[in-house]
Structure 1
Amino acid sequence: MKTLKRQQELEQAVPFLLTRAVSRMGNAFAKALKPFDLNLSEWRVCLSLLYVPHQTVSELSLHATSDISALSRIIDRLESQELVKRERSATDGRSIRIALTKKGEDLASRIIPVGKQHESVLLSGFTANDVQALRSMLLKLYENAGALDDLP
């Protein structure tokens, strides 16, 4: 009986539910990205740069949810594929900004409909109000997660 109770507790834990959902979504989308020769981390970088061009590595690290050392390797790979380029900042010559190349913009633009199709499937059965509430709650969860950095 204790095992059943523990399983029920686990299946009600928000972090467990989120991780399980994100893992399933990520695996499906990673499969869809294979024909484009990108993985999920590379896609997040390209998508972030498509919507917010010319980011510093620090900015990109936040938007693409990747630590800076891993992000450097991702940028190197994308640069070798001629999808991104490093540029000197116009305002600070010491700062480097990352931008999509034309080839990178074209590729990202071709993947957007695939992402929208996945999102559509994921949100099927949700009302517009449900989707709005879900987005709001996810943003709040992300904001609240910042306080976890201060925990021992």
Structure 2
Amino acid sequence: MKLEKKYISLARIIKKHKAANILSVEACFSILSTGMRIDKECAKRLSDYQLSEGRFMVLVLLFEHKVLSPQEIATLSGVTKPTITSFIHSLVKEKLVNKTEDITDGRKIDITLTKKGQDLIHRIFKEHSLWIANITKNLTDSEIKTLVCILNKMSQLKDD
């Protein structure tokens, strides 16, 4: 596994000073390096559509839920409301989403996909889904299940 450059020096220092189990450290850095490579490729693919991952997720959430408030989008995406407000502003400018006052409560803002936004999601969705699935193409179903199990186990670690 090729580690990202930023992890190589740290791994060498940890190994040299025997500060921790180097196999565990390299495993963690391998996961982080793989995640970074996937994230970079994802960003590159979405940039072909002038989208960031955050803006894409806003469109996906609206595709699934039809109508959401900025706060609901922030909660569902795990991003702050100011960040979502920025995404929404740019998506409105590009006519990918509509921003309207709620009919029953003028204080509430509803965000919905425009026809242009729906068309864009339809264009991207299949290609993006296949790309994501293709990341594990060299693994058997059994290996994928094991990988998911291991990653879930690692994510449950508590600070010592």
Relative to the length of structure 1, the TM-score reads 0.74
Gaps of 5+ in 1: none
Report deviation, 1:89: 2.5
- Kindly report the root-mean-square deviation, in angstroms, between the aligned alpha carbons of the 2 structures: 3.2
Paired residue type of 2:42: F
Verify the 8 A CA contact 2:69 2:110 in the aligned structure 1. yes
Gaps of 5+ in 2: 1-11
1:111 aligns with 2:124: yes
Verify the 8 A CA contact 1:88 1:94 in the aligned structure 2. yes
1:33 aligns with 2:21: no
Identity among equivalent pairs (%) = 22
Relative to the length of structure 2, the TM-score reads 0.71
Select between 33-42 and 17-26 the one with higher mean Cα deviation.
Answer: 17-26
Aligned in 2, Cα 1:18/1:82: closer, same or farther, shift over 3 Å?
A: farther
1:8 aligns with 2:23: yes
The aligned runs of 1:39-78 (5 Å cut-off) are 39-78=52-91
Paired residue type of 1:71: I
Q: 2:141 aligns with which of 121, 127, 130?
A: 127
Q: SS of the counterpart of 2:79?
A: coil
Report deviation, 1:113: 1.4
Report deviation, 1:98: 1.0
Greater length-normalized contact order (CA 8 Å, ≥ 6 residues apart)? 1
1:30-60 deviation line (CA, Å, top 9, x unaligned): 1111221111111111111111221111110
Runs of 4+ with >4 A deviation: 16-19
Larger radius of gyration: 2
Verify the 8 A CA contact 1:32 1:114 in the aligned structure 2. no
1:98 aligns with 2:111: yes
Aligned in 2, Cα 1:69/1:90: closer, same or farther, shift over 3 Å?
A: same
